Amino acid sequence: MAYLKAQGYNLIKDGRTYRLKEHDSLVVKGNMWYWFSRGFGGTALQFLTQYEQRSLPEAVNILANGYTASSFYSSNSYIEKGVATDFRLPEKNSSCLRVFAYLNRIRGIDGEIIHTLIEQGKLYESRIYNNCVFVGYDIEGVARYATMRGTYILNGKKPFRKDIDGSDKSCGFLIEGSSDLVYVFESAIDAMAHATLFKQSGLDWQKDARLSLGGVSNKALERFLLNHPNINRISFCLDNDDAGRSYCRKYADEYLNKGYAVNIELPGAKDYNEELLYIAKTQRGTMYEHEHEL
* Domains parsed from the chain with CATH numbers: 2-80 (3.90.580.10), 97-277 (3.40.1360.10)
Does residue 124 register a pLDDT over 90? yes
Cα–Cα distance measured from residue 149 to residue 187, given in angstroms and rounded to the nearest whole number? 10
What is the radius of gyration, based on Cα positions, of the chain? 20
- Residue 169: what residue type? K
Cα–Cα distance measured from residue 50 to residue 240, given in angstroms and rounded to the nearest whole number? 19
Nearest Cα neighbor of 23 from 223, 242, 181 is: 242
Q: Residue 283: what pLDDT?
A: 81
Say if residue 45 is exposed, middle or buried (CB neighbours under 10 Å; 0-12, 13-18, 19+): middle
Does residue 84 register a pLDDT over 50? no
Give 20-30 pLDDT, tens digit per residue: 876 777 888 87
Q: Residue 68: what pLDDT?
A: 45
Does residue 76 register a pLDDT over 60? no
Cα dist from 15 to 4, 18, 37, whole Å = 18, 8, 20
Cα dist from 175 to 167, 181, 254, 274, whole Å = 18, 12, 23, 19
Distance of CA 261 to the CA centre of its chain: 22
Lowest mean pLDDT across 18-27, 195-204, 267-276: 18-27
Does residue 286 register a pLDDT over 70? no
Q: Residue 203: what pLDDT?
A: 97
